[in-house]
Structure 1
């Protein structure tokens, strides 16, 4: 498929900066790239350059890999700015695609470890930055790779010249692995200080804004707040992507906690097992869904002891409530 064929088929709509409200919080909308016919290209990594890079490989985005390429370099710059990266930092990028975000990171003076599952894209990024010692590309499936080992080795080799002992994650990740990525990197506060991700907007809202008492409240919300402090940064309209997805995206920043800052549970394994059990019986009261851990009476007494009704359900509890409940009803 040629560039001239691709351009008309995926021409994004032009939009202007605005704000809107959804779900009771204020969203800041980033500007969509201006790529109407005759409009000048704003950046070497914008709409036309991204499609040209794909055409050099004869590639079209693969739905099975969740590939949606960023067409607006201003959003790449927003991602990098949101992470407060400094020259000499080490950054993990998941799914570099054509390397547009990679380019912004390298220009910021950081060293990038890019994990790319698609061998064609891994080869493209390797060729694009050939000879640049600020980039290492691994052609691996992030969900299956040993990221702690990779990052620890790189951090150790860079230690003498780095200002911070921690790395950061800055990525426009495939939407279909969002939860897997969050579960893998958030408990790594000993490796990363911040994680900045471009996520599907619904996922971004659920992970950073959703509070107890809502029907969408899930164990992942407890998990996120256990290991990090999440912050919704900005909405990104769907027209900034190729191909255009059916939903908007959003930038979310997670400031990771160190182990000493984790809530004081007697065992993280038993804590998250309890939380999962609680939500498996989401329509049930906790005194029923957690009876495999303790008696209904003891669970009721524990709930009342932390200031909650004895008939509470899982969606009623904050992360701190779950921590207190766990420590009261499970063996020490």
Structure 2
């Protein structure tokens, strides 16, 4: 069984995995195979795998992909990966922090990622041009990632991801499928990066508008944007009265009394466009 093989491999190298660092290894072969199937991996694909650990998923990926680029930050696990699979001609193993360097060229990203980097990694990936992603996340994070406006899980993450990709939650995975066993359930999410479904005048301001709104998710948009005005326009010094008048005169009236969870990504785009136009008219 893969569970025992994983235990033996780690014991042989004197390694105790850190749940805090998200080093839980996926040990359910059925789920590992389904992840590869969800990614529709073929010999035409260059696959990026983030956090391969000792290579349980990598082993299945190299059987199907044209090339696999496995990026592992833990040098000890990198050595095990090289020992187990380093002779495979279609596998490139990189020891390093995926958040610290430019991404390589790839078609698909398929991985059981360290949950501690879920948010920054997702946003970094969405800035890249690739075909498909199949990633394992903590269940709660996955639910927020795919949430729709009006739901309790809808968040800054949901709005930003929806702007750049189509995401779907495919399968929930119990803690017992991992070693060591995490305290939470996990979930597999598939997403396809695409051109934004709507245009905005400034992408940077769009993302800052979403951030400013959800920093005060219990407040109405009017108050939230006033209270996070420095997030919207970090280099502008307005008095409190000027901030209030700017927001009141700029944000379309139908949105002023709504809370962030009720506003769709497209509507956030309308808000940010209004803010950008007014800001340019001010000559700031």
Interval containing the TM-score (normalised by the shorter chain): 0.7 to 0.9
Q: 1:112 to 1:63 in 2, by over 3 A?
A: same
Q: Answer 1 or 2: which has greater helix percent.
A: 2
Could you tell me whether the CA contact under 8 Å between 1:286 and 1:299 is conserved in 2? no
One of 112, 119, 127 as aligned partner of 1:179? 119
Q: Which residue of 2 aligns with 1:196?
A: 134
Tell me, yes or no, if the aligned pair for 1:222 and 1:319 is still in contact at 8 Å. Answer: yes
* Runs of 4+ displaced beyond 6 Å: none
| Post-superposition offset of 1:273 | 1.1
Q: 2:185 aligned to 243, 248, 261, which one?
A: 248
How far off is 1:64 after superposition?
A: 4.0
Pairing 1:124-203 to 2, within 5 Å after superposition: 124-147=80-103, 151-152=104-105, 167-188=107-128, 190=129, 192-203=130-141
Q: Which residue of 1 aligns with 2:25?
A: 69
**Pair 172,245 (structure 1): closer, same or farther in 2 beyond 3 Å:** same
TM-score by length of 2: 0.86
| Cα drift, residue 120 of structure 1 | 0.9
Task: State the superposition RMSD in angstroms.
Answer: 1.9
Q: Counterpart in 2 of 1:298? A: 249
* Equivalent residue number for residue 327 of structure 1: 273
Per the TM alignment, residue 206 of structure 1 is displaced from its structure 2 partner at its CA by 1.2
Query: Unaligned 5+ residue runs, structure 2?
Result: 233-244
Residue 285, structure 1, aligned to residue 220, structure 2? yes
TM-score, structure 1 normalization: 0.74
Residue of structure 2 equivalent to 1:206: 144
Aligned mates of 2:270, 2:276 — CA distance in 1: 10
Inter-partner Cα distance in structure 2 for 1:277 and 1:227: 19
Seen in structure 2, the aligned counterparts of structure 1 residues 303 and 322 have a Cα distance that, compared at 3 Å, is: farther
In the alignment, the residues of structure 1 paired with residue 175 and residue 20 of structure 2 have an alpha-carbon distance, to the nearest angstrom, of 19
**Alpha-carbon distance, 1:205 to partner:** 1.1
User: Is the CA contact 1:303–1:325 (under 8 Å) kept in the aligned structure 2?
Assistant: no
Deviation, structure 1 residue 326: 1.6
Secondary structure of 2:99's counterpart equals: coil
Instruction: Please say if residues 143 and 153 of structure 2, whose CA atoms lie closer than 8 Å, have aligned partners that are also in contact.
Output: no
| Residue 89 of structure 1: aligned partner | 45
Secondary structure at the counterpart of residue 54 of structure 1: helix
Could you tell me how far apart the structure 2 residues matched to 1:130 and 1:284 are?
53
**Is the alpha carbon distance of 1:289 and 1:247 closer, same or farther for their aligned partners in structure 2, counting shifts above 3 Å?**
closer
